[in-house]
């Protein structure tokens, strides 16, 4: 991996290519991200860059976060993320912009999915509903059998009701369709996880 950036999901739209085909794209406001820390094999055992994104007021940061930015002598940012990069040519204080990527590049986008709260098994796992006749009773949307008499317990990973959404998901091998350097925008083909204004992490595709 050689390139990475932090961005904010703006929303989805569609654009047309040279022959008139419609391409659904997700627009991401990416960067500029400041390099807040650089890690090397000699000092830390691996190569990585810590990037900061989005302006923030000083009163909204902890004392430790303020000291971290002050030590690096870089502007304070709301979001920090470390990326392991094979080629760390950037140094502390440099800015990473959308020009790092180009149209046609394949990227992996990581985001946090929409949180849907506590849901039943049908919505959470797409299970079938029970029958509505023959004495089923008012339990049409509940799970069926939980197991047998022996071992008289529910096994782990049983698909049951519970928290749905609000988890980190990565979508791989998405193609960058267009880049707007003036507005710091990246148009990625297809959908990415998360709601509008959600923070996403864009990296080089590992399977391209």
Residue 36, pLDDT score: 92
* pLDDT tens column, 169-185: 999 999 999 999 999 99
Check whether residue 82 and residue 156 sit in a common domain. Answer: no
Check whether residue 178 and residue 86 sit in a common domain. Answer: yes
Q: For the whole model, what pTM was predicted?
A: 0.86
* Residue ranges in the chain assigned as alpha helix (H): 41-44, 63-72, 121-125
Lowest-confidence segment of 109-113, 122-126, 144-148 by average pLDDT = 144-148
Domains: count for the chain: 2
Q: Could you tell me how far CA 173 lies from the centroid of its own chain?
A: 14
Domain of residue 64, CATH code: 2.40.30.10
Check whether residue 158 and residue 177 sit in a common domain. Answer: no
Give 177's contacts (C-beta < 8 A, 6+ positions apart).
Answer: 15, 23, 25, 103, 187, 188, 189
Q: What is the mean pLDDT of the chain?
A: 91
* pLDDT tens column, 17-36: 889 899 999 999 998 999 99
Check whether residue 145 and residue 172 sit in a common domain. Answer: no
Check whether residue 188 and residue 152 sit in a common domain. Answer: no
Q: What is the distance between the alpha carbons of residues 13 and 26, in angstroms, rounded to a whole number?
A: 6
Cα first-last separation, the chain: 11
Residue 166, pLDDT score: 95
Residue 121, pLDDT score: 93
Domain of residue 161, CATH code: 4.10.960.10
Check whether residue 73 and residue 176 sit in a common domain. Answer: yes
Check whether residue 32 and residue 87 sit in a common domain. Answer: yes
Instruction: Determine whether 15 is exposed, middle or buried from the number of CB atoms within 10 Å of its CB (0-12, 13-18, 19+).
Output: middle
Q: What is the distance between the alpha carbons of residues 103 and 123, in angstroms, rounded to a whole number?
A: 37
Check whether residue 93 and residue 142 sit in a common domain. Answer: no
Residue 87 has pLDDT above 80, yes or no: no
Check whether residue 82 and residue 138 sit in a common domain. Answer: no
Check whether residue 150 and residue 174 sit in a common domain. Answer: no
Residue 1, pLDDT score: 63
Check whether residue 140 and residue 70 sit in a common domain. Answer: no
Instruction: Tell me the average pLDDT across 37-61.
Output: 91
Do the Cβ atoms of 79 and 111 come closer than 8 Å? no
User: Other CB atoms closer than 10 Å to residue 182's CB: what's the count?
Assistant: 6
* pLDDT tens column, 113-124: 999 999 999 999
Residue 140, pLDDT score: 87
pLDDT band at 160 (very low <50, low <70, confident <90, very high): very high
- Which residue range(s) make up the domain with 132? 115-165
Check whether residue 122 and residue 107 sit in a common domain. Answer: no
């Amino acid at each position: 991996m050689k390139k990475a950036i932090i961005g904010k999901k703006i929303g989805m739209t569609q654009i047309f290519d040279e022959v008139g085909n419609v391409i659904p794209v997700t627009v991401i406001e990416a960067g500029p991200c400041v390099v807040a820390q650089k890690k090397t094999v000699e000092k830390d055992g691996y190569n990585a860059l810590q990037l900061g994104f989005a302006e923030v007021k000083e009163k909204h940061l902890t004392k430790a976060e303020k000291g971290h930015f002050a030590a690096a002598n870089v502007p304070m940012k709301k979001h920090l993320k470390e990326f392991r990069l094979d080629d760390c040519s950037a140094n502390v204080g440099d800015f990473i912009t959308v020009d790092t990527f180009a149209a046609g590049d394949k990227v992996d986008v990581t985001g946090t999915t929409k949180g849907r709260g506590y849901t039943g098994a049908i919505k959470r796992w797409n299970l079938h509903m029970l029958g509505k006749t023959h004495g089923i009773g008012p339990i049409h949307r509940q799970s069926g059998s939980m197991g047998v008499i022996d071992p008289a317990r529910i096994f782990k990973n049983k698909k049951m009701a519970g928290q749905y959404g609000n988890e980190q998901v990565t979508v791989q091998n998405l193609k960058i369709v267009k880049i707007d350097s003036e507005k710091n925008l990246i148009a990625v083909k297809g959908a990415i996880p998360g709601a509008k204004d959600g923070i996403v992490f864009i990296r080089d595709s590992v399977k391209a």
